Amino acid sequence: GFETYSQATVNGATGDEPTCWNRPYPREAIAAVPQICKGPAYASSGNFALMLKSQCVYAMPELKIDNISVSDLQMELYVKQPYAKNQLEVGVLENLNGDASFTPVATINNDGTGITQQFIDFSSYTGTGKIIAFRNSNSDGSTDYAYNFIDDINIFIANSQNDCGITMLPHNEGFET
C-alpha cells in the first residue's frame, strides 16, 4: 500500500500527498486534497491508506503502455467507505486539464461495511486516455462527509496469465522505492 508515506496527525487531518499522483486542474481547495491516512482501520494491509475527501478527482501516474489499451486492463483495490452514502467512481482521464475528461467505468458503494476488495474491469472504456483516476462523491449529491480510503491497488492485463498460471502485473500501486 502506501507504507512509505507519512502522516502528520493520527486522525488523518493532514498528511502527505503522493507526489507521483495528480489532481486535475483547476485544483480543488486544500480541504479536498487527498492525503495519506494512518490507521489499520483504514488500510487493507499495513497502517497507511490514501484518503479521498470532499468531491475530489485524483489521478494515478499516467500508464506507460504503448501497445495496450486501457480497455484491456483490470484493477484490484481495497476500499473503505465509512458512511453508506459514500461512493467512489473509478475511471479514466484523457488529460489533467480538469475533470471534464473523466470517463467513469465503475462506481463503488459498499454501504459503509468496512474494507472491501473490489475488481474493476475497464473493457467498457472506448477513449484513448491512459490516466486512471478516482472521483470521490456521495450518492445523495452532498459533499458532507464524503470519504473513501483506498489501498493496495493492482493493475493488470485482463486474462494475462503466463504458462505458470501467474498473473502478470505491469503496474502496481505500491510506489515503494
pLDDT above 90 coverage of the chain, percent:
28
Residues forming a β-bridge with 51: 35, 149
Confidence check: pLDDT of 163 > 80: no
Confidence check: pLDDT of 33 > 80: no
pLDDT at residue 175, as a whole number: 37
169 in Cβ contact with 63 (< 8 Å) = no
How far is residue 106's CA from residue 100's CA, in Å, rounded to a whole number? 17
77 in Cβ contact with 105 (< 8 Å) = no
Q: How many CB atoms lie within 10 A of CB 53?
A: 21
Mean pLDDT confidence for 133-152: 84
pLDDT at residue 121, as a whole number: 95
Mean pLDDT confidence for 20-25: 75
Phi-psi region of 83 (alpha: psi -120 to 50; beta: other; left: phi over 0): beta
Residue 39, classified by CB atoms within 10 Å of its CB into exposed (0-12), middle (13-18) or buried (19+), is: middle
How far is residue 35's CA from residue 14's CA, in Å, rounded to a whole number? 7
Pairing of strands 57-59, 86-93: unpaired
Confidence check: pLDDT of 98 > 80: no
pLDDT at residue 125, as a whole number: 96
Contacts of 35 (CB under 8 A, 6+ apart): 7, 12, 14, 15, 16, 17, 50, 51
134 in Cβ contact with 63 (< 8 Å) = no
Residue 87, classified by CB atoms within 10 Å of its CB into exposed (0-12), middle (13-18) or buried (19+), is: buried
pTM given for the model = 0.82
110 in Cβ contact with 79 (< 8 Å) = yes
